[in-house]
Structure 1
Amino acid sequence: MQLAGHLFAAVWVAGLFSFSLCQDDCKRLDGKPGKPGNPGRDGSPGEKGEKGDPTPQVHLSEEEMVALKGEQGEQGHRGQMGLQGFEGLLGPEGPAGPAGPDGVTAANSGDVNSGASKVAFSVVRTDKQITTYNTPVIFDKAITNEHNDFKTNSGRFTCSVAGVYYFVFHFVSEVNLCLKLKTDTNPVVDLTFCDFNLQRRSQVLSGGAVLKLAKGNRVWIERVNPHNMPSSERITMKNEMSLVFSGFLIFSTD
């Protein structure tokens, strides 16, 4: 027991001696800082807060509302054109305009109806029977024959003024009838007009054309046989004016 006490006293003295020796030098022996730890988890959401008070209502007068109106914005892009509307009602007739200036006279303007350019004819056949096919129809009476280019003895018009002409004929009959308007131009004009009269009543066959003629060209009308009818069939006209052939110069080309 006494030995244990001496041993404890010796250890205590040795420790006290070593502590006094380390008061200045042992600080240099501090260890290195440790590594930071892992972040902790997020906390749980908090409880929902209470509803706030509503904004107080403000009543503005019309004057105050106008005063608070903002500035006008920029003009937008032009839109697409809409559908066309219905046509409006016709307005009242306007006043008549002033009279135009007088025109020049035909003698000074070179008009086709002046001087030697007056060409026109209208002839009829007074014979009430026509029997011949493929020959010119004879017109024995002239109503108008300016420039004397239509010859009643031959049934032909002979062009003496080159130009564009209009020709027309009208024929009244009670049988089937075909007529040709023919020329000796180059190329030849050969136009056929037919009327098939099944009821044997008076009917009108008409035909016409605008033709360009040179000097010396001839125009006439021929009867042709429709469907090879017997050539002895006769056409009876009702009156003196049943067959009329007319023509006139529209404009000259000289």
Structure 2
Amino acid sequence: MGVQTNPCLVVLAAYSLILIQANITPVLAHVINQTESPATAAPQAPPPVAPVAPVRSAMQPLQATDLLTADKPCSHGLERQMPYFGMGAPGPSGSAGIPGLPGAGGAQGARGERGDRGEPGLSGFPGSKGDKGDIGAVGPQGLVGLEGLNGTKGVKGEPGRDYTPPSMSAFHVGQSSNLQVTSGSQIISFNAQYINIGDDMSQHTGVFTCRIPGLYYFTYTFRAYSHGSYGLNIDLLVNNVVKSQIYMTAMSKHLMQTQSTIVTLRVGDDVWLKANANTYINGDDEMNVFSGYLINAI
């Protein structure tokens, strides 16, 4: 086990050495001077001994110039009994101490002001191709463009075939006489003929016979006026089958009725008008007419 040193004894020893040196050094210097030049040197009085500082009371507070400071404790309280000395010259600066440990983090500061807008960055790499979008709505129609240049002349075509005008069938007939049907029915004949292309209409019998198969248009118009209990009741027939009709009951004023139809006919089909019972037609060849024509041959 090592020897333990009492710090108070160390302090007392150091203090004794300093005190002895302070009182003996002037005397030794005087003796040496006398010894070196005894013949010529005038006798000199020994230097005065430095007064010993009074011992401070244990209750007297230490000053900033004390040799021993209060922050060096002694178990016996002897630092309060050391003599007073003046402050010496400042010693050399000590070496830098060991850096202290990092302090605890401070509180978050207030949010700073918004900085200036930075310069645009460099363009990035092109991204991958996206999915195809939906078809947009149709935009408004644009303006008519400028007329283009004339094209080059085409190659001469093949000679055409001999032209044969299409066959035609049409008629327009009228009835200028009054017609009254009391009972039963009667085919309406006509005493005026205006058009009869192909001679397919017989105005005396009132029957049209199909010569060219195809699509036909027929129309008929009749006038009636108050005549007792009579009115208009007229049918259009194809091979004795009703295809259209005009029907009007007795009226107290003049009226006109028109009906139209389109039918497909084969060769030999017959078409006519039939007036039924209680029909009275007021004769006028310009008002009571029957017409038909071929629309398209089949």
Alignment TM-score > 0.5, same fold = yes
1:1-254 equivalence runs, <5 A: 49-51=104-106, 65-66=119-120, 68-75=121-128, 77-78=130-131, 80-81=133-134, 84=137, 88=140, 91=143, 108-112=162-166, 117-131=167-181, 133-174=184-225, 176-184=231-239, 189-196=241-248, 199-225=251-277, 231=278, 234-237=280-283, 239-253=284-298
CA spacing shift, 1:59–1:168, aligned 2, 3 Å: same
Q: Structure 2: which 5+ residue stretches go unaligned? A: 1-102, 151-160
How many equivalent pairs are there?
180
Amino acid at match of 2:266: A
> What is the deviation of 1:197?
5.2
2:261, 2:113 → 1: CA distance?
A: 94
Percentage identity across paired residues of the two chains: 17
Letter in 2 for 1:81: D
Q: CA deviation at 1:155?
A: 0.7
Q: Which has the larger radius of gyration?
A: 2
Question: Relative contact order (C-alpha < 8 Å, sep 6+): which is higher?
Answer: 1
Gap change, CA 1:58 and 1:224, over 3 Å in 2:
closer
Where do 4+ consecutive residues of structure 1 move more than 4 Å?
A: 52-62, 92-98
AA at the equivalent of 1:218 = D
**TM-score with structure 1 setting the length:** 0.56
C-alpha offsets along residues 141-160 of structure 1, whole Å, 9 cap, x if unaligned? 11001111111111111122
List alignment gaps of at least 5 residues for structure 1.
1-47, 99-106, 226-230
TM-score by length of 2: 0.49
Structure 2: distance between partners of 1:174 and 1:95: 62
RMSD of aligned alpha carbons: 3.9
